[in-house]
Amino acid sequence: MKTKILSLMLLLSVFIFSYDYKELLVGDTKGNIYVQDNIYEVRPLASMTKVMTILLTLDKVNAKEISLDDNVTISYTASKVPYGVKMNAGETFTVEELLKATAIRSSNNAAYALAEYVSHGDVYDFVDKMNERARSMGLDSLRYCTPHGLPPGNTGTCMDQGNAYDIYKLAMTAIQYPEYMKIADKSSDYIKDGTIQLKATNNLLGKVEGVDGLKTGYHKAAGSNIVLTAERDGLRMIAVVMGSEKSKNRDTVGADEINSFFSTYKKSKIVDTNKAIATIKISNKDYSLYPSEDVEEIININNFDASKIEYKFNVIKTLPRKIKNGEVLGDYTVVFEGNEYTGKLQYKESDKISISK
C-alpha cells in the first residue's frame, strides 16, 4: 500500500510539474503555430515588457537619432528603480551598456534610463510610444504602463499585460533586429570596462542547443514568463511560456518544447534547382527541365509524404530546334499543403538526368 501511494504521489508531481504554466505557444517565423494552450488569455507580462523598450531604442539607433556610443547620465529617479544593476545618480552608461543590462540581466533601472534618454526625460511619452507601436503591429492585447514591467505595487501605475500570441508576434519582429539578437544570445557579459558583470536571466542559453534569446519575466502576479528563440540547421522557432509558478518549471517546459519541435520538424527543399522536375522529348532526345528557384518548407519528419507534392507544368508550344543551356521552356506550379509556388522551367546541360518524383 505504501509503495502504491508513493508511486501515485510521484506520478501526480510529474504531471503537475510538466503542466506548470498558464499559457504555452510554439511557432515558427512564418506564423505557423504548432503547439498552443490558452494563448489568448491576457496576463501580466513582467519583464517581457522590456522587449518593446529595446525595440523602440534600437529604432532610434537605426534612424541615427541616437548612437550606441552615446553617454546617458543616470537620473535620480532611474537610480532608485528596484531590481537592477548598481547605478548611481549622475553616473554615465552608454546606450549599448544600458541595452545589454536590460536584455541580458533584465535590469529595471537600465530600461527606465533608456526610456528617459529616448524620450528626452518624458517616460510617460515613451510608454505612449510603446502602446502606439503595439497597435501599429496589430498586437491588441499588449498594454504597456512602464518601460520595465514592474508591478503596480512598485510603480503606482497599471499592470503591463498581454497574451502569449501577441508576445509571439512581437518576438517575430524582434528576431529581425540583429543588434538585439547579438545581445540576447549572451549568457554573460561585462559593462563599465569590466567592472559590472551581467549574468543572463535566460537559463537556457548555452544549455539547450540553438537557444539564442529572448526575454524572461517574473513577479508574483505574473509568475515566471519566458519567450524563447532558437535555431537549428536553418530552422528557427519561437516558444512562449507564461504563468509558471517557478522559473525552473518554466525553463523545463521551454526546453522540452524546443527539443520536441526540432526532433519533429526540419527545413527541406521541396523544389531544388539541382533536381529536374520534368523532361521533354525532342527528336527522340530527352531534355531535363529544372526549376528556376529553390523552395524550402518546414516538414514533419515523422509523416512527410513526398508523393503529396503536386507539380503542374506548362511547356511552351513552339520549341526551338536547338536548346541552349539555361533556356526557359515553360513554367511550373508546385502545390504543397495548400501553398502554391510558381517559377520558370529551365534547360540545363547535364550528363545525368535526375527526375524528382
Task: Note the pLDDT of residue 280.
Answer: 84
pTM of the model: 0.89
* Chain-centroid distance, C-alpha 58: 17
Q: For the segment 304-318, what is each residue's pLDDT rounded down to a tens digit?
A: 998 889 999 998 888
Strands 43-44 and 161-162: antiparallel
Any idea where the domains of the chain sit in the sequence? Answer: 22-267, 272-347
Tell me what the mean pLDDT of segment 225-240 comes to: 98
CATH number 2.60.410.10 is the correct assignment for the domain at 272-347: yes
Query: Residues near 144 by Cβ (< 8 Å), separated by ≥ 6?
Result: 49, 52, 127, 130, 131, 134, 160
Which among 242, 78, 82 is positioned nearest to 150, based on CA atoms? 82
Q: For the segment 43-100, what is each residue's pLDDT rounded down to a tens digit?
A: 999 999 999 999 999 999 999 999 999 999 999 999 999 999 999 999 999 999 999 9
The catalytic residue among 75, 100, 106, 244 is 106
Task: Note the pLDDT of residue 284.
Answer: 79
Q: What confidence tier does 350 reach under pLDDT thresholds 50, 70, 90?
A: low
Question: Would you say 324 is a known binding-site residue?
Answer: no
Tell me what the mean pLDDT of segment 150-168 comes to: 98
Q: What confidence tier does 13 reach under pLDDT thresholds 50, 70, 90?
A: very low
Q: Choose between 22 and 13: higher pLDDT.
A: 22
pLDDT at 1 over 50: no
Task: Note the pLDDT of residue 18.
Answer: 56
Mean pLDDT of the chain: 92
Cα distance between residue 162 and residue 98, in whole Å: 25
Specify the CATH class of 22-267 in words: alpha beta
Cα distance between residue 191 and residue 204, in whole Å: 22
Q: Note whether 301 and 307 are within 8 A (CB).
A: no
Task: Note the pLDDT of residue 7.
Answer: 47
Q: Which amino acid is at 356?
A: S
Q: For the segment 168-225, what is each residue's pLDDT rounded down to a tens digit?
A: 999 999 999 999 999 999 999 999 999 999 999 999 999 999 999 999 999 999 999 9
Q: Examine the residue annotation and report whether 50 is marked as an active-site residue of this protein.
A: yes
Q: For the segment 109-156, what is each residue's pLDDT rounded down to a tens digit?
A: 999 999 999 999 999 999 999 999 999 999 999 999 999 999 999 999
The catalytic residue among 50, 129, 169, 186 is 50
Are both 22-267 and 272-347 of the same fold? no
Cα distance between residue 293 and residue 344, in whole Å: 8
Cα distance between residue 102 and residue 110, in whole Å: 6
Task: Note the pLDDT of residue 351.
Answer: 40
Cα 94 to Cα 3, 67, 114, 138: the distances in Å are 60, 9, 10, 32
Q: For the segment 287-338, what is each residue's pLDDT rounded down to a tens digit?
A: 889 999 999 999 999 999 988 899 999 988 887 777 788 889 999 999 998 8
Interaxial angle between packed helices 50-62 and 95-103, expressed in degrees from 0 to 180 and rounded to the nearest 10: 150
